[in-house]
Amino acid sequence: MVQDFSLFPQRPGSKRSSLIGRLGGATVGYWRFYSRLFITLGRALASAFEPGAAAAAVSRRVMVRQVFFTGFEALPLVSVMALLVGATIIIQAQLVSPLPGEVLGKVLVAVVLREVAPLTTALVVAGRSGTAMATELGNMKVNDEVLGLVSLGINPYRFIVFPRLVGTVISVLVLTVYFGTLAIIGGYAVTAVIGRTSFAAMQSGFTDALVPLDLPLFVIKGSGLGVIVGWLCCHFGLEVGASPTEVPQRASQAVVFGMLACVVLNTLLTVGFYWIAGPPLR
């Protein structure tokens, strides 16, 4: 892997560079960083087309384990968060100004299904599983396990990165559906307890707010956020050098950078969606 020499301290006697030199050094540093970042994604995707039935079988087993860890084991946490988020949104909407059931149904679609469910799911996966992935790959790099795979002729991107990337995408998509469903149930439960609107009225507003573009928006958001989490966490894990102290640093960078990228992507997709579909509450 390419070393980031900016991490090493300068010699005490080195001269300070000029403003142009510092800007040039920063530009080169950013170029190297993003080049390595996209090289990791490109090599992982290209490894899926390499021949070898045995290698593909091993990759699938790693993928299944990743789905189990990232998706199935996160169900309790996601369940509690989804129910509380759905209930909280309805409570806040009713406290600010009592709304009819049709409007509450549209709020659940615009806020929960399109925004909160995919973004919250991605952030949960990044904070819970992303840290583990980056730490695991960082320890493999420090312990020369990645070098051992290369010495045996095994492509580490096919064995390490690609299965985790696909497993994260599948987990985020499934958990987003699960989160949205439980959040809507939580919202319905609150309205039933409050008793200010009927279930039929909320259902009418819910179905009226859905548009055909919601399906591609859901697939694109879930897939894109899943790719970002798996990609960045694997990349930063493989960026660890020879020192074990770099492992927690890279894991922290992976989570912070991944969460920021998820928020940016979610915002861009939302702006594009409403630019095409129109305002959320008509």
Q: In the numeric block, which tokens belong to residue 126? A: 């990044």
Return the pLDDT at 161: 92
Domain ranges of the chain: 22-277
Polymer length in residues for the chain? 282
pLDDT value at position 229? 94
DSSP state of 80: H
At residue 182, the pLDDT reads 92
Q: How far apart are CA 152 and CA 238, in angstroms?
A: 18
- The reported pLDDT for the residue numbered 6 is 42
Distance CA 224, CA 231 (A): 10
Distances (CA, A) of 279 to 26, 180, 270, 271, 276: 41, 21, 11, 10, 9
**Residues 44, 165 contacting (CB under 8 angstroms):** yes
User: pTM for the complete prediction?
Assistant: 0.85
Mean pLDDT of residues grouped by 10 in the chain (282 residues)? 42 60 78 88 88 83 91 92 88 71 79 90 92 91 87 87 94 93 86 71 78 88 94 91 86 92 94 81 56
